[in-house]
Structure 1
Amino acid sequence: MKQIQKAEIVMSAVSQKQYPKDQLPEIAVAGRSNVGKSSFINSLLSRKGLARTSSKPGKTRTINFFLIDEKFYLVDVPGYGYAKVSKQERNKWGQMMDEYFTQRESLQLTVLLVDARHDPSELDIQMYEFLKHYGLPVLVVATKCDKIKPSKRPRHLKAVKEGLNLEPGDEVVLYSSEKLDGRNEVWKYVNDHL
């Protein structure tokens, strides 16, 4: 189990000009607004309220940089697919995400969160294809696996792989923020990319 000594949010950015300048490696976390991104980040880092969880999905409207042990950044990008924002706001997010993913040289890996209980949505598929199009390494993490009976998990795992049309070499990790299932596998993957 990885022990994190220090984790702090150092900035919330809306454009490249505001990103950290220190060239430390970055691991991005992307996913739908209601996939449990904040819970994933908090459980991965063994912190309670570092990434703010909310009963209202779609709260993250900036790209948030968390500095981990002064060695790398965990980068929380805005969740996609939340309907209660204007089209203009969605377009702005789209440009912000586009700029980050296509131009950020420090980005080493994107952890794409999908809900293990459901087939990947159209937006999950688009996000995966977008990352693959730009040749970015991806780890798919299927969250909320504690809500699925252990005997049914292999079927859900298969549905995620097939739904995303996962490329050879890409992995899916079943993850539970509650029970910490999958935490060690995610850390192994992250460490391999740092």
Structure 2
Amino acid sequence: MSAIYKVNKAEFMTSGTKPSHYPPTELPEIAFGGASNVGKSSLINSLVGRTKLVKTSKTPGHTQTINFFNINDAMVFVDLPGYGFAKVPLSVKAAWGPMIEGYLAGRPTLRAMVCVMDLRRGVRDDDMMLIESAPLFGIQPILVFTKADKYGRNAAQQRRREIAKDLNCPPGELLLYSSTKGEGGEALWDRIRQVTGV
């Protein structure tokens, strides 16, 4: 494979907070999860070659619903609310856990979860909970570290080796990504196509 997947169609489908709001489970789904302001929306936009498909915000906690996007009528990208630093009401924050857990447990077409983290910060406790929860729901975690452009090439590789050692996994399992430079898209598309069969 090893080629950027050509996206001819990328459209918002719907958003919701409970199963009755979600679209029918017909296409394979890829969920994107991560801390607030980790660059998740920018990653999705750059991955599909659009600038405004997913709304980006400098305000943590901007995404408060689960948002579904049709990609080429072949798969669905699912943007999950960010966690961690969100300055949102505690009642809203408390509802996110059950909402996300309910989605992860109840979608038979969900193939993988892209766990988005900041290369500078590494894996935090909330990130670890997300990574460890994926296999419990029968979902493959894909570990992606954004903001790779904040490092030189050698320094970024060294940082990846350090994080891989902490996680006790091969460095090759960790994908480096830069939304501003578009680097890492090929490797991430490879993983997504492997799990969706597209």
RMSD over equivalenced CA pairs, Å: 1.7
Is 1:68 the counterpart of 2:90? The answer is: no
The alignment's TM-score, normalised by the length of structure 2, stands at 0.92
- Name the amino acid aligned to 2:173: E
Q: Which residue of 1 aligns with 2:5?
A: 2
Is 1:48 the counterpart of 2:51? The answer is: yes
Give CA-to-partner distance per residue, 1:98-149, whole Å, 9 cap, x none: 0011121110011000101122111111111111333320110000100111
| Mapping 1:25-174, distance limit 5 Å | 25-163=28-166, 165=167, 171-174=173-176
Aligned residues: 193
Cα drift, residue 169 of structure 1: 10
Measure, in 2, the Cα distance between the counterparts of 1:8 and 1:41.
12
Give CA-to-partner distance per residue, 1:12-62, whole Å, 9 cap, x none: 011011111142110000101111011000000000111011111210001
| 3-state SS, counterpart of residue 37 of structure 2 | coil
| 3-state SS, counterpart of residue 161 of structure 2 | helix
Cα drift, residue 167 of structure 1: 5.5
Contact persistence 2:164–2:170 (CA under 8 A): no
- Name the amino acid aligned to 1:105: P
- Listed as ranges, the gaps of 5+ residues in structure 1 are none
- Name the amino acid aligned to 1:87: L
- Name the amino acid aligned to 1:172: L
Contact persistence 2:60–2:87 (CA under 8 A): no
Cα drift, residue 168 of structure 1: 6.9
- Name the amino acid aligned to 1:183: G
Aligned-pair identity in percent equals: 37
Give CA-to-partner distance per residue, 1:143-194, whole Å, 9 cap, x none: 010011112112211233244x255798210000011111000001111111
Contact persistence 1:35–1:115 (CA under 8 A): yes
| 3-state SS, counterpart of residue 74 of structure 1 | strand
Contact persistence 1:138–1:170 (CA under 8 A): no
| 3-state SS, counterpart of residue 162 of structure 2 | helix
Measure, in 2, the Cα distance between the counterparts of 1:53 and 1:23.
27
Measure, in 2, the Cα distance between the counterparts of 1:102 and 1:51.
24
